[in-house]
Amino acid sequence: MLLTVLTAGATILSVGLALVLPSRYTATATILPEVQTSGPLALGTLSQLASTFGVNLPGRAPASELYPVIMQSDEVLKQIVYKRYTLPRSTGTLNLLEYWRIANQDSAEAYEDARRRLLKQAVQIDASRRTGVIRLSVTLGNAELAADVANTIVADLDQYVRQFQRTSASEQRHWIEERLHEVKDDLERSEATLTHFRRRNRVIESSPELQLEAERLSRDVQLNTTLFVELKRQYELVRIEEVKNIPIVNVLDSAQGPARRSWPKRRVLVLAGAMLGALLGVILALFLFESGRVGDGSAGARLLRQMAADVKSDVRSLRG
């Protein structure tokens, strides 16, 4: 009887708790590894970007290590917190400060509170170092809002990386422009020198010194020509990088509003409550029997006596 009462009571309590606890929905977006392309920025862009966040990534900077850092940075989270979202069956919009009902929304403390909630309760990032795949999960009380926040984080990540790449290309273009002017001047000067030398020395076959001088001047022209052609090629590539505005972050799956809640798991919660109630009932019954508060002649008493003997036998075997 006692076992039944405790089990039923714990089950009812678990059902009530499962109904009272607020529902949580998890939306997940999947990002593929960053694909390195050819060009002057292909190898160094992510490494330069990593250094701005204090991350030391030698050589090729893996996106699986850098992207999570960017997604959890203030550069991205501020836009996530203050963006206006539209909830289903709602005529207005609200930001996350209003959604969480955080007071003093214009204060720095309000943003810090929202930032902590995002990183500790809402946002989870799993990055595989082996495959480079990144999974961004956002858990909130509204399924559509969770998906909207997850997709916004991915979009802001892509925008930030693109802007950084365009800025880096712009800086490189300015440097190459200056160097291109210097090399062009050197090339014109070496060509003029070689032309002047040939006009003054039309016959040089009989003079080894003049031949060596002609070869040296020719090498200068060839070297400056090679530098000029390569810089011109790099300049055109950088100009393309500077103006292109195509997506960089490779999204495999965008976040979708989940149809089922991720928490609470009501079946699991009710089952765990029933098992806990049954366990407590057994422990309490054994205690009452051992303390002499249960009669010795009943069938229940005999069952408890056998259970107590089994428990004591198991304890002795564990000690031995």
CA quadruple 227, 232, 233, 239: dihedral positive or negative? positive
Per-residue pLDDT of the chain (320 residues; tens, 9 = 90+): 544 554 555 556 555 544 445 678 899 999 987 655 444 444 455 556 555 555 554 445 567 788 888 899 898 999 999 999 988 777 788 999 998 988 887 788 999 999 999 999 899 999 888 888 999 999 988 889 999 999 999 999 988 888 888 888 888 888 889 999 999 999 999 999 999 998 988 888 888 888 999 999 999 999 999 999 999 998 888 888 777 767 778 888 888 888 777 655 556 555 665 566 555 655 665 565 555 555 555 555 555 555 555 555 544 554 55
The angle at the Cα of 204, spanning 199 to 207, to the nearest 5 degrees, equals 140
Asked if the structure places residue 225 within a domain, the reply is yes
* Cβ pair 153, 71 in contact under 8 A: yes
Q: At 159, which CATH number?
A: 3.30.70
- Residue 217 CA to its chain's centroid (Å): 56
| 100 lies in the same domain as 212 | no
319 within a domain of the structure (yes/no)? no
- Looking at the structure, tell me whether residues 60 and 106 fall in a common domain: yes
Q: Please choose, from the candidates 197, 242, 202, the residue with its C-alpha nearest in 3D space to the C-alpha of residue 220.
A: 197
The continuous run of DSSP H or E covering 124 comes out as strand 123-127
Assess whether 239 and 124 both reside in one domain: no
Q: Could you list the residue range(s) of the whole structural domain that residue 88 is in?
A: 23-171+249-253
Give the global pTM: 0.65
Q: In degrees rounded to 5, what are phi and psi of residue 130?
A: -75, -45
